[in-house]
Structure 1
Amino acid sequence: MIDLRSIGYLLAGIGGTYLVFSFLREQIDTYKLRHIPTIGPKGLFSSYFGRFQFVKRAKDMLQEGYEKYPGGLFKIRTLDQWIVIVTNDNMIHDIRKAPENMMSFDFATRESFQQDHTMGKTVYLHPHHVDVVRTTLTKNIAARFSDVQDEIASAFGDEIPPDAEWKPYPTLNTVMRIICRTTNRLFVGLPVCRDLDYINLNIEHTILVFKSAFLINLFPSALHQIVGPLLSPLPASLKRARKHLAKMIEERIEKDDQYGRDWDGRPNDFISWILDEIPQEKQKELRNVEDILLWVLHTNIGAIHTTSMAFTNILYHLAIQPPEVLDILRNEMESAIDQYGWTKDAMSHMRRTDSFMKEVARMVGTNGTVVERMAMKDFTFSDGTTLPAGSRVAVPGFVLQRDENRYQDADKFKPFRFYDMDRDSAGLTEDAESTWTGSIKHQMTTPSPNYFFFGTGKHACPGRFFAVNELKTLVAHTLLHYDIKLEGDAKSVPAPVWLIRDISPDANISVMFRKRQRLKE
C-alpha cells in the first residue's frame, strides 16, 4: 500500500532542497556581481523574490537602468539569473569583438532556448545550417526569387482572397501561415510547403520551443535533465515531420549516392544545400533523415518567428499611414517593378520601402535585450570593469534604439528616416535622385551601434538578407493589391505585448483588407 504521508514528506523535502539550493546560488551570484549597480530589489531576501518583477516590468526596469546609468552598466534579476545590461558603446564593441571562448553567443543561446531539449544537440554541435543560410541561401535569393514571389501571391490568394468589401483577418496568425508557406517553398518546395499539417507543424513547433524553454528555465539547472525531456516538443514534432519529409530526404540521399551532386533535376532547395554542406568526414554520422529534420525544423523557427513578427508590425504601421505616404511607397514599387520585374533587383531599388521597414524595426524590435552573451571566463571591459565567468550580458536594444541622443525625435515614427539619412550623407541633389542606387550604410540589413534588430558582429542574423527581401516582397504585394486599415478604423498602432524581454505584436488585432481600388494591372 502506498504511504501517501511518506510521499508527501519526500516531495516537501525536494521542494525545500530546491528553495535552499536556489537561494544559496542567488546569494553567491549576487555577491560576485556586487560591484554592478542594481535595478530592482537588491536585499538578501528581496532580490530572490524580486525576480518576478522582471516578468511584468521588464520594459520599465530596462528604461530605468538606461536613464539612471547612462553610458554605463547595471544588473537586473531575471527569473533564472542576473543579467548585466551594457549601454556604453565602447563596452558594446568589447562584446562584439570578444572571441567565442571569452563571450559566448552559442552558449548563451543554448541555455536561453534549452536547445538540448527543445531543438536537439545536432543544431549546436553541428551548426551547418548557419553556413547554409549565411552563404548558399543568400547566393540563391535571385535564382529562387520567382518561386518566393509566386508563393507569396498564392498564399495571399488563399489566406486573404481579394474582395471589393472590407474584411478583417487576424493578423499574426494569417501572417505566420503566409510566411511559413513562402519560406518552405525555398526549403522543401511544392507540394509540401502548402500542406496544411506541415504548415501547422512548423508554426506550432516554433511556438512550443519558446514556451518549453521558458518553462524549463523556471527550474534550477540541476533539474534541467529531468524536466527537459518531459517538456520537450521535439519527439512529437519529429514524428510529424517524418511523415512529410522522410521519403524526400531518403530519395535525395539515394540519388546523390548514385549520381553525385549534379544529377539532372536535383532540387535547388535547403535539403540539397544542407547535404552539400556536411563535411566529408561527417557524412556517415550526419547524412541521415533525423539530423536533416532537426536542421529543417530549427531553421524554420528563425525564419517564421522573426519575419512574422516583423511583417505583422509593418502591417500595423502601414494600416494607419496617411495616403501620401502610401502613394510614395506604391509609386516606388511600381517604378522598380516596371523596370526590373518581380526580381531581387527590383527589391534593391525600393529604398523608401526599406527605410519604412527599418523604422518599424527601430520603433518596436522583437526583444528588450539583444546581443546576449555568456562570459566563459572572467571578462574585463575596456573601462576596467570585470565580470566573473558565468555572467550573462546583454544590450538594451529597445530603449537604446529610442534614445534621443542617437535618433532625433526618437519616439516619433518617421517612415523615411533612414532614406533621408542615406540621401543626406551622399549629398544627393533632387536631379540625381532618380538614378541613385543608394548605399548599404543605412539599409535594414546593416547592423550599427544604434540599430540591433539583426544583432551585431559575426553573430548578426545570417538570414537577414533573405528576410529583408522576403519582407519587401510581402509589403509590395500587399500595397499593390490591397487597401488596408485597422479594424474599427483605429488611428494608432496597437501597443506591442511584452513577456519578460520578448516583444510581440498584439495577436488579438485584426487588419482589414479589400482589393485595391486603383489596382495597377
Structure 2
Amino acid sequence: MDLPWQLYVFAFLVSTQLFKLRRQYERRKALSEIPAVGPSGVLRSYKTVWRYIRDARSVLQEGYQKSNGGLFRVPQISGWFVITAGRHLEDLRTAPDSQLSLDAAGAELLQSDYTMGKDIRLDTYHLGVLRNVMTKKLPTMLLDMADEIRFSFNDLIDRKFTDSPNEWAHIRASEVFTIFVARITNRSFVGLPLCRNDDYCNINIYFAHHVMFGSAVINCFPNFLKPLVGAVYNKISGLRTRIVVHLRPLIEQRQREKAAGEQRSDDMLTWLMDAAPPGHQSVEAISERLLNVNFMALHTTAMTFTHALFHLAARPEYIGWLRDEIKENLGTEWIDSPNVLDKEKIEKCWKLDSFLKECGRLNGLGAFSLPRKSLVPFRFSDGSIIPAGTIVAAAPTATHLDNTLFENAAEFDGFRFYKQRREAEARYGAASAEEVKCRLTSPSAGYLAFGGGRHTCPGRFLASLEIKLMLAYLILQYDVRTEEEGVRPPDFWFGPVCTPSQSAAVLFRRRAKL
C-alpha cells in the first residue's frame, strides 16, 4: 500500500529540523570555551534570550564587565552571538572578508536576499558611488540640502505656529524629522519635485520597516522555505514595485538625455545609472538600487538627528554656546541665501561636531556594531577560536560606557571631544592622527557609531553634513526644550534595536528675525 504524500513531507521536515538541531549543538559545543551571559544550557539559555529582548543593553553590559575586555557570547533564538571587546575588537576590524564577512552577516540577520534584493548583495557597486563619487560632490550638494532644509522648516515647523508672541509649538520629533531627512536626502538623490512627493518619501521611509519586520518573519522559517516566504512577503509589501512607478519617468528621461548627449542632473540617480554594470541597468534594477541607498542613508540619519535634538532640548545651556560658534563661522546670511554656504566653514564648528559625537556615544542606533559571520573557523590573536557560521560583533553600548576609554563615561559632556581635539591640536598639530580621531566621522577602537575597518559606513560624511546643517539652522532660528524641562525622553529598545522615542514631542519657539 502506498504511503500518503503527507507522511513523506512530514518525514522530510523532521529530518531537516533534526539536522539543523545537530548543527546548532555542534556549534554550541565549539563555543563552550567562550563565557556566556546567563545559563548556557539549551533550555535555560532562553531565559536570557527573553531578558535580551526586553533589555539588550544590560545583558551586553553584564557580559562586557564579566569578560574584562575579552570575548563573551549572548544567546539568541537561532543560536549564539559572540561579542568582541578590547584586543579582540581589533581582530574583528582587520579580519579579511574571506574569513569574517559583513555580507554573509547581512544575508542572515536581515535576510537581505529577500528583503532588499539578491542583486544588491551580489554586486555592491553603489558603495563605490557613495565612497568615490558622492563624497567628492558634498561641497556642491550642501547648497541644495540647505535650500531644502529651509523649505522643510517653513513647511513642517513654522506652520504649527499662530501669531501669538512667545508661543511654544509641540513637534513630534521622530515623525517630523524622518520626513525632513527623506526630503533633504532625496533633494540630492533625485531632485525637485520628486523629493517632496509624499508617497515617494513614504515608500523610502517604510522600506526600513519592510526590511526589519520582513527579516524577523523570514528567519522564523527553515532555509528551504525562505525563498517562498520572501517572495510572498515582497508581493504583499509591494514597496519595491511602487518605487518604480515614481522613478521610471525620471530614469527614462535621463536615458534619453544621455543618448542625445544632453546635460543631466548631477545627483545620486545619475551616478548610479552611470556606474551600473551590464545586467543592472534596467529601470527596475536602478529603482531597487536607489531604494536600498535610501535605506542606508535615511533612517540612521533621522534617528541620529533626533537623538541629538533630544539632548539639546534637555540641555538648553548648550544652545547659546553652539549658536555663538555657528554665527562666528557661518554667519546668518545663509539662512535666506544658501549659496553663500561653504563646507570648509561648517567643518570649523568643532563644538557642534563634538556635541553630535557625544550624542552618538551615549545614544546610538543599537546594541551591535561591526556584525560579521565567520566563513571558516576563525582564530583570534589570543588563540580563541569560533567555528564557521558564527555571528560575531562589537557592542558599542558597552564599549562607549567603558571608563578606561572615556573619563566619567556615563556622563554627558557635549564638549568632551572638542576639548580632546584642542589638546591634540596643541600637542600634535592640526590634521594629525590624534586630532582627526576626535572628529565625528572618525571611527576608532573606542568609538563604534559608524562601524570600523574596511566597512566603515561610507555615507557618514553625508549624514554628518546633513545633521550639522539641520541643527545649525534650528539653533539659529528657534529655541527648544523638552516637555518635562531638563529631562531627555527615554529611548525605545526592542532586542538589539534602539530608536529615539517615537511619541515624544519637543517644544519649539521661533526666535526674532536675525
* Fold agreement, TM-score > 0.5: yes
Compare 24-33 and 168-177 and name the one that shifted more: 24-33
When residues 15 and 61 of structure 1 are mapped into structure 2, their CA distance, relative to the original with a 3 A threshold, is farther
**1:336 pairs with one of 320, 329, 342:** 329
> Unmatched 5+ residue regions in structure 2?
335-339
2:181, 2:312 → 1: CA distance? 18
RMSD value, Cα: 2.6
Q: 2:83 matched to which residue of 1?
A: 85
Amino acid at match of 1:510: A
Which residues in structure 2 correspond to 1:321-332 (within 5 Å)? Answer: 321-323=315-317, 325-332=318-325
> Residue 212 of structure 1 contacts residue 233 of structure 1 at CA under 8 Å; is this kept in 2?
no
Q: 1:55 matched to which residue of 2?
A: 53
User: How many pairs does the alignment contain?
Assistant: 498
1:461, 1:406 → 2: CA distance? 22
Q: 2:437 matched to which residue of 1?
A: 441
Look up the SS of the partner of 2:331 in the other structure: helix
* Deviation of the 1:231 alpha carbon: 2.3
Q: 2:182 matched to which residue of 1?
A: 180
1:17, 1:497 → 2: CA distance? 40
1:445, 1:499 → 2: CA distance? 27
> Unmatched 5+ residue regions in structure 1?
1-5
* Deviation of the 1:233 alpha carbon: 6.7
Percent of pairs identical after alignment?
33
2:196, 2:71 → 1: CA distance? 48
Which residues in structure 2 correspond to 1:65-144 (within 5 Å)? Answer: 65-88=63-86, 90-144=87-141
2:435, 2:342 → 1: CA distance? 19
Q: 2:314 matched to which residue of 1?
A: 320
Q: 2:292 matched to which residue of 1?
A: 298
Look up the SS of the partner of 1:38 in the other structure: coil
2:16, 2:99 → 1: CA distance? 30
1:73, 1:267 → 2: CA distance? 49
Which residues in structure 2 correspond to 1:113-262 (within 5 Å)? Answer: 113-161=110-158, 163=161, 164=165, 165-232=167-234, 236-259=238-261
* Deviation of the 1:382 alpha carbon: 0.8
When residues 158 and 205 of structure 1 are mapped into structure 2, their CA distance, relative to the original with a 3 A threshold, is same
The alignment's TM-score, normalised by the length of structure 1, stands at 0.90
1:459 and 2:455 equivalent? yes
Q: 2:275 matched to which residue of 1?
A: 277
Compare 328-337 and 342-351 and name the one that shifted more: 342-351
1:424 and 2:423 equivalent? yes
Q: 2:396 matched to which residue of 1?
A: 397
> Residue 37 of structure 2 contacts residue 48 of structure 2 at CA under 8 Å; is this kept in 1?
no
1:64 and 2:49 equivalent? no
**2:493 pairs with one of 498, 502, 513:** 498
1:311 and 2:310 equivalent? no
The alignment's TM-score, normalised by the length of structure 2, stands at 0.91
* Deviation of the 1:412 alpha carbon: 0.5
> Residue 424 of structure 2 contacts residue 435 of structure 2 at CA under 8 Å; is this kept in 1?
no
* Deviation of the 1:220 alpha carbon: 3.4
> Residue 480 of structure 2 contacts residue 509 of structure 2 at CA under 8 Å; is this kept in 1?
yes
1:175, 1:146 → 2: CA distance? 19
When residues 179 and 44 of structure 1 are mapped into structure 2, their CA distance, relative to the original with a 3 A threshold, is closer
1:409, 1:50 → 2: CA distance? 29
Look up the SS of the partner of 1:485 in the other structure: strand
* Deviation of the 1:481 alpha carbon: 0.8
1:179-219 residue CA offsets vs partner (Å, 9 max, x unmatched): 00000000000000001111111111122211111222233
1:147, 1:136 → 2: CA distance? 17
Compare 25-34 and 169-178 and name the one that shifted more: 25-34
Q: 1:3 matched to which residue of 2?
A: none
Q: 2:337 matched to which residue of 1?
A: none
* Deviation of the 1:514 alpha carbon: 1.6
Deviating beyond 6 angstroms after TM superposition, the runs of 4 or more aligned structure 1 residues are 6-19
Look up the SS of the partner of 2:55 in the other structure: helix
Q: 1:42 matched to which residue of 2?
A: 40
When residues 384 and 151 of structure 1 are mapped into structure 2, their CA distance, relative to the original with a 3 A threshold, is same
> Residue 105 of structure 1 contacts residue 374 of structure 1 at CA under 8 Å; is this kept in 2?
yes
1:31 and 2:33 equivalent? no
* Deviation of the 1:40 alpha carbon: 2.2
1:316-357 residue CA offsets vs partner (Å, 9 max, x unmatched): 00001143x211100111111129943312211111000000
When residues 412 and 344 of structure 1 are mapped into structure 2, their CA distance, relative to the original with a 3 A threshold, is same
* Deviation of the 1:53 alpha carbon: 3.3
* Deviation of the 1:139 alpha carbon: 0.7
Amino acid at match of 1:459: H
> Residue 151 of structure 1 contacts residue 181 of structure 1 at CA under 8 Å; is this kept in 2?
yes
Look up the SS of the partner of 1:120 in the other structure: helix
When residues 481 and 31 of structure 1 are mapped into structure 2, their CA distance, relative to the original with a 3 A threshold, is same
Q: 1:513 matched to which residue of 2?
A: 508
Q: 2:360 matched to which residue of 1?
A: 361
